[in-house]
Amino acid sequence: MASTDEEPVAVSKPAAASAAAEGPEATGPSAIPTTCHKDGSVCTASPKWVKKVCSDVYPDVALVLFSPKSPFTRGYLTRKTKAVNASGGVTSGDEFLAFDEEVVLVYERAGPAGGMQISGAQGGYDAIRWDGSCVTLDSTEVSTHKAPSPKRGRIDWRYLGEDVQEALKAVPAVRDAFIARKKECKGAYSGDVSKACIQKDDALTKAIVDAVQSGKASLPEPAKRP
């Protein structure tokens, strides 16, 4: 499964175009990797691509990374952990990751002998959350053993691209959850919202997660990507 080639998820490009997109002069968005960067027990992405994806928040890209087609290793938080992005990019509005929260491991940081270090002596990972933000985790904070009941970070509908929203609403369960949330919350996304609105918001996130992980949602290539 190991390979250094990177291919688009949804739209094929000529080899020359792909190479140009990876070059130092490239300014446009690059393809989302679909193969492991190197052999190992953990499947991660190209460091060059990870550096770009961790410089901002990419909600649409996160859905692709959590889809069945994505080969990258999933991780599960071993404890409640503060969200920190050691790559210098922004983090999400959720200040903490929950115990058993699911993430996608995209970069493996070396321990003391490898030069790149974080707080733990055994190294760690850069990972993507369901909201599209990047976090840096100590190796003791995340496990590759699937949690019995994984938790997922909140997905903010308003930050998804219109084409992605339409693809998700093509799944009946997502469409129903979207309509129920819209009716209850009346367009509100923050501030003083009702408990019922929060519940509908959580139900919409769950519907999106189920649609993505089951493969029922036919996701387009994200317009906003690294």
Q: What is the mean pLDDT of the chain?
A: 83
**Lowest pLDDT segment from 80-94, 98-112, 125-139:** 80-94
The Cα-based distances of 209 to 62, 65, 161 in angstroms read 11, 12, 16
- Residue 63 sits at the vertex; the CA angle it makes with 60 and 66, to the nearest 5 degrees, is 150
pLDDT at 5: 43
Same domain for 104 and 54: yes
Over residues 169-194, mean pLDDT: 88
Same domain for 194 and 114: no
Q: What confidence category does residue 93 fall into, taking pLDDT thresholds of 50, 70 and 90?
A: low
pLDDT at 70: 95
Name the amino acid, one letter, at 86.
Answer: A
Q: What six digits make up the tokens of 113?
A: 């002998």
Rg (CA), the chain: 18
Which residues, listed in sequence order, are joined to residue 103 by a DSSP beta bridge? 75
Within a domain: 11? no
Total-model pTM: 0.80
Same domain for 163 and 138: no
Out of 86, 117, 143, pick the residue that ends a domain. Answer: 143
Question: What is the extent of the structural domain holding 111?
Answer: 31-143
pLDDT at 122: 63
Over residues 80-88, mean pLDDT: 89
Within a domain: 26? no
Same domain for 190 and 121: no
Same domain for 106 and 62: yes
Over residues 18-36, mean pLDDT: 59
- The C-alpha atoms of residue 158 and residue 152 are separated, in whole angstroms, by 17
